[in-house]
Amino acid sequence: MRRVVLPVVILLVVSSGQSAAQTGAAADPTTETEPQRPIPERIGADPRGFLLERMRILAESGRLADPEFVSATLGIALREQSARRLSNARCGAKSPATERTDLTRYAVTGESWFKSLPGAAATLRYPDKDGNPAFNSAVSPELAYQVIVMISCPGTMALDKETSVLLEFRGLPAFSCIRSVDDHLPAAAPSRTADGVTTILVQGKHDDVVGTELTFYFRSGDPCAVAAAMVQEDRLSYRFQRTAQKHRACLDSARVAYCVSHKSTSRQDQSQLKEIISEGVARCGHFADAFRDEPLSGQPPASGPVPNSYHPSPCD
């Protein structure tokens, strides 16, 4: 069986004022004016509920790429830890690729309330299961946060500029045991289990600009979530997904038209693959062009799979 590896973790938690249930909308901690009680007091006897409420606000905000908002929502000071610019390729008509990737990581600075609490599980134990190694060690809560911006060369399934954000939680049992999330995160999907790992997926804000998802990870033998990861990506937006479906349908139609007038070749014929791609671009344009032409509607994509890339096969 395939091995399931838990993601690198970035932990987050916070305090804001009123909850969305009280105000009718997600609270924006950067605009609150009422005096706030110290975070330790607001955590009180329900650290689990406090943490899940912070996660809910962030997941519904669509502002995960804003470090000031994330810091304010969490009530945790964050500073830029490192920034890297990776140049991957020179753009060329024959080899579309990511031209540049800018990766910025943020670290907690100063005192953080997200730490091991008395009575919480300081040791995490789970057995070897389906290729995932056993674990038996002390854990402590951590927070990791990174923002990735990719600048793309012209390609069939690439935006000119694409942002991806990851905010993860590690060592959750040392802060509080999270067995379920439905009371604070009603958008949670039924749990899924594979290779000894159970996940609960929560859909955050999705619109024509961004898409946000929050995933909790459980390991066989432990009832508490061992980690959680929140992702916000441009390619999870409704506009990207609608464009991907329409552009892929156009590319597939171009491939069929090409193959009608060309003899089939072996699957190793790279020259024919390049001709198919060129024909598709000639008919359908690059993905970035199609994305710019896609009107803002706020509607989700049609039912069916949403392609993330295009790898045509030769005519056969």
181-201 pLDDT, tens digit each:
999 998 889 889 888 889 999
Q: Does 34 score more than 80 pLDDT?
A: no
38-54 pLDDT, tens digit each:
677 778 889 999 999 99
Q: What is the mean pLDDT of residues 76-88?
A: 88
220-265 pLDDT, tens digit each:
878 899 999 999 999 999 999 999 999 999 999 999 999 888 877 6
What per-residue confidence (pLDDT) applies to 158?
A: 82
What per-residue confidence (pLDDT) applies to 47?
A: 94
Decide: pTM greater than 0.85.
Answer: no
Mean pLDDT of the chain: 83
Q: Does 166 score more than 50 pLDDT?
A: yes
Neighbours of 254 (CB within 10 A): 20
Highest mean pLDDT among 57-71, 253-267, 280-294: 57-71
Q: Does 308 score more than 80 pLDDT?
A: no
